[in-house]
Amino acid sequence: MKYRSYNNDNWETVVGDEMQTSFYPRVKIKKWGNAANLSIGLKDSGGTYSATGNEVSYKFGNGTSNFYPIFKDSSFDKKTIRYIKQKDLDPVTISSQFEIDKNYFWSNQTILSYNVNCPSMLYYGSYNTSDYITSIDIPECRFSGEMNWNPLYMDAGLKFVEIHFSYDRDDVSKIEPTFIQATKDIVSKYVNIVDQKGGKLYFDDNGKKVKFFSGGTFETAYMVYINISSQYNDVYKYYKSGIDNTPNDQYAYGLSAANSNLPDDLVDQIIKRYSTLIGIPLKSDTFNGDENNLIKTLNDCLSSNSWIKNADRSQFPPFSSKKENDGFEFEIVLNNKPSTNIVPLSVQSKGLAFYYQSGIPGSIEDRIPDNVIGSYAAYRTDTVRNQPNKAFHIYRPWAVDSKGNKVWCSFDPNWDGVSDLNITVPQSFLDSANYPITIDPTFGYTIAGSSSTVYSPPNNNSGNPAINKAIYRISGIMSAPGKSAQIAFYAAITAASPVNVVVGLYAQGSSRVDYSNAVNYSTTYGPSWFFYNLNINPQLNTTTTYDSIIFINIPAGEYQSYASFTIYWDGYYYGSGLANVYSSPPPATEPAIVANSNIYSIYLIQAFNGPMLMTGIG
């Protein structure tokens, strides 16, 4: 019996079993008019069910199973900017406040201002600290960043500002230039600002051009520092032998060198000026209870030596309060300790293949979210088109007890997509938990890849060489003759300096079939679909295998490390590939590709004498 169905664009999610006269505790996710589906649920069938609002509950011997949709949170407040002013924070708390952006839904655009309470070293990215530093006598912390920036020295004289934004709520393209203008407006009252290069500002100190401001957009935060009295280049004193210790900027010290009478509220003045220019009033605030609790929990994780030294996130517990994407929850609540730590879920599926996401990065540029490690990406298997489309994602499960203690659970990495999908709950958690506990596998309605790779020029002293990449995905064989129309890909672009992108369509291993005009991006775009029209639009046939390739270029330059191109992907059994090449138009012959085990979110959209279709070629 089907109790309730939920429709979401191309998905239909059904609670119950349409093929049975009795209610069964399962959820069925249909895609493409039921051309592909997954039915998954409890093996128990002797309980009772009820419904309240959008939620269906099923009671069985040792607990309850709850089914309900997740809707993207859009409860935005666009009328005010929330301003949380702080000072003298310890370095780990600073990194926790930056990390909170990944785990918490901000209803307002939110500004944080602060400084560290002691000389400290900040690492940003996923490299090992031993790449730069062997011994150190000051506290350390690490930001979880999309780029890999060399270590940063900070002390109380370096003031930080973070603007946390939403691509769905804010005009992100205005945030950085508006804050830079606000800084110029205020700081120029006290010193002579003489230059701007990329996201950096410089003042004059008796003929010396001194960097005092630097900022960039990282995921959903714009972060800057304003140097009041810090010897920023002291970082190079800690570099190990053999690492280039030539400063990026010869002079990088505080504004107080040019004016010793700077007002104490200089940063406050800048933020207030930003509020005026952006046209949204400030609302002074503090962190609420939930936010403070999350920061405390994050402090425990981010103070670990394995995180600070090696960027190891394997010991991070689940964080699940940030709601961004539509999806579906299937919760299992156990009232008492179960006899086994294995929770089997019965499975039936049609037209789908399931790919385990190991969470092992292939390169230092790879970013794999915590809830994707050990998850499954579900792709359509279509023997006509030869290649699958992504249907949805089954995220890594977790469990929480009645006191809020959380732990990651695991799926069987060798699941075949047909037999029971087993969830393993850590036995130590079951032994010490305060019951009831909730076990939470989540289904995400996303056709984009869940992991990503970030390409950005290195932040070093070697002139920041250009980034040239060709990212390809096998497009497969057409299901019917037709003309190519567009190539779409899912990506994010940080365009603090130019990012150039062009796409090409190739007969596999052979000549170029079609291509687009190049686009020069000078505005930042959050994760989104990009659509490129092709120029020739030739007739494609059913006997040729085609490859879709994105060519990206971030030109060489001293200040290019603020620019990046992020492509999204899932781990896959045979992979796609990469080459180090860029040209516009794309090369006449397909470049030699180094294969990998990623399937990139690149789609050829083809017209089959009718409506545009997202074909199975991904």
- Check residue 550 and give its pLDDT: 96
Most confident of the ranges 5-14, 295-304, 315-324, 462-471: 295-304
For residues 109-135, give the mean pLDDT.
94
> Edge-to-edge, what's the strand order for the sheet holding 26-31?
2-8, 11-16, 26-31, 36-42, 342-350, 421-424, 410-411
> Edge-to-edge, what's the strand order for the sheet holding 149-154?
140-143, 120-124, 149-154
Has residue 609 got a pLDDT over 50? Answer: no
Single-letter code of the amino acid located at 567: I
Domain map (residue ranges) of the chain: 2-72+325-444, 78-310, 460-614
> What is the rounded CA–CA span in Å between residue 564 and residue 454?
7
Quote the pTM value: 0.91
Question: What is the percent of the chain where pLDDT is above 90?
Answer: 58
From first CA to last CA, the distance across the chain in angstroms is: 35
Q: pLDDT tier at 383 (50, 70, 90 boundaries)?
A: very low
Distance of CA 75 to the CA centre of its chain: 21
65 sits in which H/E element: strand 63-70
Q: Is 47 exposed, middle or buried (0-12, 13-18, 19+ CB in 10 A)?
A: middle
Under a CB-based contact definition with an 8 Å cutoff, are residues 13 and 5 in contact? yes
> What is the rounded CA–CA span in Å between residue 340 and residue 452?
36
Dump pLDDT digits (tens) for 345-363: 999 999 999 999 999 888 8
The sign of the CA dihedral 475, 480, 485, 489 is: negative
40 three-state secondary structure: strand
The sign of the CA dihedral 237, 238, 239, 241 is: positive
Has residue 325 got a pLDDT over 70? Answer: no
For residues 118-140, give the mean pLDDT.
93
Residue-averaged pLDDT of the chain: 88
Is the preceding omega at residue 436 within 30 degrees of 0, hence cis?
Answer: yes
Strand partners, 570: 599
> What is the rounded CA–CA span in Å between residue 59 and residue 47?
5
616 three-state secondary structure: coil
> What is the rounded CA–CA span in Å between residue 183 and residue 212?
11
Dump pLDDT digits (tens) for 48-81: 888 888 888 999 989 999 998 887 777 888 999 9
> What is the rounded CA–CA span in Å between residue 434 and residue 16?
30
Q: pLDDT tier at 541 (50, 70, 90 boundaries)?
A: confident
Question: Regarding predicted confidence, which is higher, 560 or 182?
Answer: 182
> What is the rounded CA–CA span in Å between residue 338 and residue 399?
13
Task: Name residue, tokens 């935060």.
Answer: 221
> What is the rounded CA–CA span in Å between residue 542 and residue 437?
53
Helix 266-278 to helix 172-187 angle, to the nearest 10 degrees? 130
Tokens of 433: 């938990």
According to CATH, the topology of domain 78-310 is: BirA Bifunctional Protein; domain 2 (3.30.930)
- Check residue 385 and give its pLDDT: 46
Alpha helices in 303-408 (DSSP H): 305-310
Counting DSSP H helices and E strands in the chain, the numbers are 6, 45
Tokens of 82: 């929330």
- Check residue 616 and give its pLDDT: 35
Q: How many CB atoms neighbour CB 196 within 10 A?
A: 14
For residues 563-570, give the mean pLDDT.
93
Has residue 464 got a pLDDT over 80? Answer: no
17 three-state secondary structure: coil
291 sits in which H/E element: helix 289-302
